[in-house]
Amino acid sequence: MRLVLFDLDNTLLSGDSDFEWAQFLIERGVLDREVYEARNQAFYDQYKAGTLDIHEFLDFQLKPLSRHPRTQLDIWHGQFMREKIMPIINPKARDLVDRSLREADLVAIITATNSFVTMPIAKAFGVEHLIATEPEQNGGEFTGKVAGTPSFREGKITRLDAWLKQRGMDWEGVQESWFYSDSLNDLPLLERVSNPVAVDPDPTLKVRAEKSGWPVISLR
Catalytically active residues are 7, 9
Report the DSSP beta bridge partners of residue 135.
146
- Tell me if 198 sits within 8 A of 217, measured CB to CB: yes
Torsion of CA 145, 148, 150, 155, to 10 degrees: 160
- Tell me if 198 sits within 8 A of 215, measured CB to CB: yes
Q: Find, among 16, 108, 25, the residue nearest to 62 by Cα.
A: 25
What is the Cα–Cα distance from 179 to 189, expressed in whole angstroms?
8
Compute the 3-state secondary structure of the chain and give helix, strand, coil in percent, each to the nearest 5. 55, 20, 25
What is the Cα–Cα distance from 23 to 33, expressed in whole angstroms?
9
Sign of torsion over alpha carbons 206, 207, 210, 214: negative
Give phi and psi for 107, each to the nearest 5. Answer: -130, 135
What is the Cα–Cα distance from 113 to 5, expressed in whole angstroms?
15
